[in-house]
């Protein structure tokens, strides 16, 4: 599917949660079948694979993870799929205690080792201090959901999930972004949308009534762009592509359906992901030829 300098990946847990029995091998095959160029490997999927009997001879967790990562890389290579990123940073931000940060930094050393095994060139983390770092291998990860939701969204408002001034604010924000950020500083682009969230979190797989509304929407309501989402995510996508970005994009969702034990989940969500990308590409005039829908 790679065209015009753009390669398309899909997040591994967008094709089903490991805890619902959806193994990485099935998800790799689904990604290949529906035309993806690579996957964004989520730590949950790697952890689950490492717990299989295949790696029981490895005594430490770190050794099992490294062995599982190598196994996944070989499987992906056999399918001509790239592993674009390792996505391990859940619940990393906001650590208040120094000892907690130190533990996570030690864990990060293992993540870097796993990245080497996977031959994944991108380790994803949002950095407000990117400009101060000023290194060629530390770049922006742009996410359509997070930008659109923060600037324009009203997560629990079922009737008006976009604020009155939301689209105008988003457009101003993206205009500033395009003026102040070089396209070469964008390393990776994630595409997702969302439906409005239920304040009571009815039917959500993991309920947390204390979390911010935005996080409830992020963790439970994300779907692919150009489905039936409520956020102006195409405003973000169009700006980024008009800046000239050509690189890896990843289709990403967090939705209750991926927790279902239906064996058809990986194939269905991979199909939807590629269909979504075709529609985004058409809207943003990425290809000169008409993408398949």
Could you tell me the two tokens for 54?
């295949």
- pTM for the structure as a whole: 0.83
Give the C-alpha separation, 79 to 48, whole Å. Answer: 21
For the chain, the structural domain boundaries read: 7-129+139-283
Cβ within 8 Å of residue 280, ≥6 positions away: 191, 225, 226, 234, 237, 286
Give the C-alpha separation, 209 to 225, whole Å. Answer: 27
CATH of 7-129+139-283, one of 2.60.40.10, 2.40.10.10, 3.20.20.150, 1.10.357.10: 3.20.20.150
Give the C-alpha separation, 185 to 56, whole Å. Answer: 42
Mean pLDDT of 80-106: 72
Question: How far lies 6's CA from each of 2, 127, 236, in Å?
Answer: 5, 24, 17
Pick from 272, 284, 280: which is nearest to 35 by CA? 272
Pairing status of strand 140-143 against strand 122-123: unpaired
Question: From start to end of the chain, where are the E strands?
Answer: 7-11, 38-42, 82-87, 122-123, 140-143, 186-191, 193-194, 222-223, 248-251
Question: Using one digit for the tens of pLDDT, what is the confidence trace for 12-65?
Answer: 999 999 999 999 999 999 999 999 999 999 989 999 999 999 999 998 999 999
The DSSP 8-state label assigned to residue 253 in this structure reads -
Give the C-alpha separation, 49 to 52, whole Å. Answer: 6
What is residue 291's predicted lDDT score, i.e. its pLDDT?
A: 42
Mean pLDDT of 182-197: 93
Pick from 142, 145, 127, 226: which is nearest to 189 by CA? 142
Is residue 271 within 8 Å of 264, Cβ to Cβ? no
Could you tell me the two tokens for 285?
């005039």
What is residue 182's predicted lDDT score, i.e. its pLDDT?
A: 86
What is residue 116's predicted lDDT score, i.e. its pLDDT?
A: 73
Instruction: Indicate the range of 110-124, 158-172, 256-270 predicted with least confidence.
Output: 110-124
Give the C-alpha separation, 24 to 14, whole Å. Answer: 11
Give the C-alpha separation, 231 to 170, whole Å. Answer: 11
């Amino acid at each position: 599917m790679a065209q015009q300098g753009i390669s398309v990946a899909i997040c591994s847990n967008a094709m089903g949660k490991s805890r619902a029995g959806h193994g990485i091998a099935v998800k790799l095959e689904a990604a290949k079948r529906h035309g993806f160029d690579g996957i964004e490997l989520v730590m949950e999927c790697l952890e689950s694979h490492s717990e299989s009997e295949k790696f029981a001879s490895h005594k430490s967790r770190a050794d099992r993870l490294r062995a599982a990562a190598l196994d996944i890389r070989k499987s992906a290579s056999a399918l001509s799929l790239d592993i674009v990123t390792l996505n391990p940073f859940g619940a990393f931000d906001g650590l208040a205690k120094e000892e907690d940060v130190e533990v996570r930094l030690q864990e990060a050393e293992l993540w870097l080792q796993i990245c080497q095994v996977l031959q994944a060139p991108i380790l994803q983390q949002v950095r407000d201090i990117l400009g101060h770092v000023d290194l060629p291998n530390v770049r922006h990860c742009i996410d359509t959901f997070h930008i659109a939701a923060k600037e324009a969204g009203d997560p629990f408002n079922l009737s008006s999930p976009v604020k009155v001034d939301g689209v105008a604010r988003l457009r101003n924000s993206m205009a500033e972004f395009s003026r102040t950020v070089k396209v070469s500083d964008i390393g990776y682009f994630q595409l997702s949308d969302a439906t409005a969230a239920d304040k009571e979190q009815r039917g959500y797989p993991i309920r947390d009534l204390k979390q911010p509304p935005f996080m409830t929407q992020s963790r439970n309501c994300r779907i692919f762009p150009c489905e039936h989402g409520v956020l102006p995510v195409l405003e973000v996508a169009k700006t980024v592509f008009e800046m000239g970005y050509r690189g890896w994009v990843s289709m990403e969702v967090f939705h209750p359906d991926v927790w279902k034990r239906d064996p058809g989940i990986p194939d269905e969500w991979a199909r939807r992901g590629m269909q979504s990308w075709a529609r985004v590409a058409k809207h943003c005039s990425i290809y000169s030829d008409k993408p398949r829908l």
